[in-house]
Amino acid sequence: MKRRNFLAYAAVAGGSKLLFPYSASASTKKDRLPQSGKTSCNELDADIIILGGGMGGCATALAACRNGLNVIMTEETDWIGGQASQQGVPPDEHPWIETHGAPSSYRSYRNRIRNYYKQNYPLTDEARTREYLNPGGGFVSRICHEPYVTVIVLTEMLAPYISNGQLLILLEYKAKKADVTGDDVKAVQVYNKKQDRALTLRAPYFVDATECGDLLPLTGTEYVTGTESKAQTNELHAPDKARPGNNQAFTVCFAMDYIPGANLVIDRPKNYDYWSSYVPKLTPAWSGKLLSMSYSDPATLVPKRLGFHPEGDSTGDAVNLWNYRKIINRHNFTPGTYKGDTSLVNWPQHDYLMGNLIDVSEEEFDKHVNAAKELNRCFLYWLQTEAPRPDGGTGWAGLRLRGNVLGTEDGMAKYPYIREARRIKAEFTILEEHVGAENRKLVAGEEAGKKAADFYDSIGIGYYRIDLHPSNEGDNYIDFASLPHQIPLGALLPQRMNNLLPANKNIGTTHITNGCYREHPIEWSIGEAVGMLIAYSKEKKIPPRAVRERKDLLEDFQKWIRSQGLETHWP
């Protein structure tokens, strides 16, 4: 079948099922597409193919389209927005986010969230006039909001480019195979399981914005997983032994609200006896049972009490988890709009530690995700029936799942919250000595160590603690202070591949530094820089790595991205 430009997609994609004749073998060599001219499925072309429609993928698309390129972006689920939407994680952000510390386009996204509520929801007069409206009032972010509002806002931001034909978004498509010649990706084949449809996507540039770094093994791009050893990185908090299969726990988030006086207790889950008595086997030891209001304090690892009180704010000196990621605060809306508040659940009690999602089969991946959902049901049942109450009683029977908030029937997020992906072997790897407060002082001295390393090739900035959740191979929290840091261009460039770039958690970090480069605004910053790097490289007719290799090009590129709202240095 003749190759088709993606602008004609609507005319060709609605017919019979599309077939692609190849073996579904899992071996790397057999996962390569046939060469050009030998395919028989539909083929689409663009300037850039972006795999993954999360924060990084959407930011890449915005930057590329804004600078005149045609883009095809695929997304494995039916929601764009990644961790802020399909994974149900309100933005984790630094204290200065309202004024600086992220691209201007990211702040526009945040303000559009607020404006969407002000334009469409029955807010109280006081809430409507609040400049920094926080719809849910949760304290993890200043814009705790419903996940699908991110889907709407990002779609609005991308709408002009969808309308003029620059951007095509393919929902529910997952990368399956790749055609690679030498150090260049020629094509990627994506598949829609529901429609039994395959498409071959061709472009001069490919961007891996998937949550797990899916394109890296398919293209033969060199990458790292899990934990590096101290001998490899010389990081202060690195272990003596490398463990490639050791990754942070993933979490399947869920939403629930609370109706005072109601009895909404679910049927007792079949695995409740197991999970209600389960004690994580971690080093140092966990505080006790996973389903409890005690956990290991991330910074000190000593047992610490948490609170839970959906009827009030006070839980003494303990954090009230109900308010942590609350996305609907009924008091922000006119009386009667909501019967109760709604909170997103991403708490220590349901981090899933029993398996790994990186470099496993699709069957293994699904098995662990389904088990994590069963843990969630057990946790909800525990909250409904056994969680301690301030009045001395147990259980909050008025809790219920809110699947409509997440666009699912089972009440769970559409996709697991992946904290750690495959990471490219990059031209430059960010180490703890560059961004970790304690390690920085050891290598740079007391005074110089008060600031993170200054990267000459900085293309963005960000800030978050080095925050590693317990791992699937038995590590407890690894959590300590970092410094406001930069994103070096070298960490976005694979050592060998010429036209494949990362735009998610798959950049050149280590297991340790991944902990402060994985949050919403940093992922957005990475994606926007990648979109502009490709636009700049195409305009100058040079490979992306040449921008870093030549001082004049690098300075010109940095000046250009700053002119479009990217920040390269902290004030």
The model's pLDDT over 472-488, given as tens digits with 9 standing for 90+, comes to: 999 999 999 999 999 99
Coil, strand or helix: which one is 60? helix
Task: Tell me, rounded to whole angstroms, the distance of Cα 334 from its chain centroid.
Answer: 33
Token pair, residue 525, equals 């910053």
Q: What is the mean pLDDT of residues 62-78?
A: 98
Cβ proximity of 291 and 376 under 8 Å:
no
Round to whole Å and give the CA distance between 237 and 301. Answer: 15
pLDDT in tens, 424-483: 999 999 999 999 999 999 999 999 999 999 999 999 999 999 999 999 999 999 999 999
Q: Please name the residues in contact with 81: beta carbons below 8 A apart, sequence gap of 6 or more.
A: 53, 54, 55, 58, 147, 150, 151, 154
pLDDT for 17: 29
Cβ proximity of 57 and 50 under 8 Å:
yes
Round to whole Å and give the CA distance between 82 and 417. Answer: 9
Q: Please name the residues in contact with 505: beta carbons below 8 A apart, sequence gap of 6 or more.
A: 211, 213, 418, 419, 420, 421, 423, 514, 517, 518, 523
pLDDT for 249: 98
Cβ proximity of 475 and 493 under 8 Å:
no
Q: Which of 60-69, 308-317, 518-527 has the lowest mean pLDDT?
A: 308-317
Best CA proximity match to 37, nearest among 167, 175, 187:
187
Residue 144 dihedral angles phi and psi, to the nearest 5°: -65, 120
Q: What mean pLDDT, rounded, does the chain reach?
A: 92
Q: What is the mean pLDDT of residues 248-275?
A: 97
Using the predicted structure, report yes or no on whether residue 267 has a pLDDT greater than 80: yes
Round to whole Å and give the CA distance between 310 and 322. Answer: 6
Burial status of residue 460 (CB atoms within 10 A of its CB: 0-12, 13-18, 19 or more):
buried
Distance separating the N- and C-terminal Cα atoms of the chain? 55
Residue 477 dihedral angles phi and psi, to the nearest 5°: -55, 140
> Which pTM was predicted?
0.93
Cβ proximity of 289 and 395 under 8 Å:
no
What is the share, in percent, of the chain residues with pLDDT greater than 90?
A: 90
| pLDDT band at residue 232 using 50, 70 and 90 as cut-offs | very high
Using the predicted structure, report yes or no on whether residue 248 has a pLDDT greater than 70: yes
Cα–Cα distances in angstroms (integers) from residue 81 to residues 171, 201, 475, in the given order? 12, 22, 30
Using the predicted structure, report yes or no on whether residue 261 has a pLDDT greater than 60: yes
pLDDT for 7: 43
Q: Amino acid identity, residue 10?
A: A
| pLDDT band at residue 92 using 50, 70 and 90 as cut-offs | confident
Q: Which residue has the higher pLDDT, 456 or 313?
A: 456
What is the share, in percent, of the chain residues with pLDDT greater than 70?
A: 93
Cis bond before residue 390 (omega within 30° of 0): no
pLDDT in tens, 317-367: 889 999 999 999 999 999 999 999 999 999 999 999 999 999 999 999 999
Cβ proximity of 500 and 208 under 8 Å:
yes
Best CA proximity match to 167, nearest among 75, 63, 73, 79:
73
Residue 433 dihedral angles phi and psi, to the nearest 5°: -65, -20
Cβ proximity of 425 and 497 under 8 Å:
no
Q: What is the mean pLDDT of residues 244-273?
A: 97
Coil, strand or helix: which one is 348? helix
Q: What is the mean pLDDT of residues 530-552?
A: 98
Q: Which residue has the higher pLDDT, 11 or 450?
A: 450
Token pair, residue 467, equals 């925050």
Using the predicted structure, report yes or no on whether residue 37 has a pLDDT greater than 90: no
pLDDT for 316: 79
Using the predicted structure, report yes or no on whether residue 72 has a pLDDT greater than 90: yes
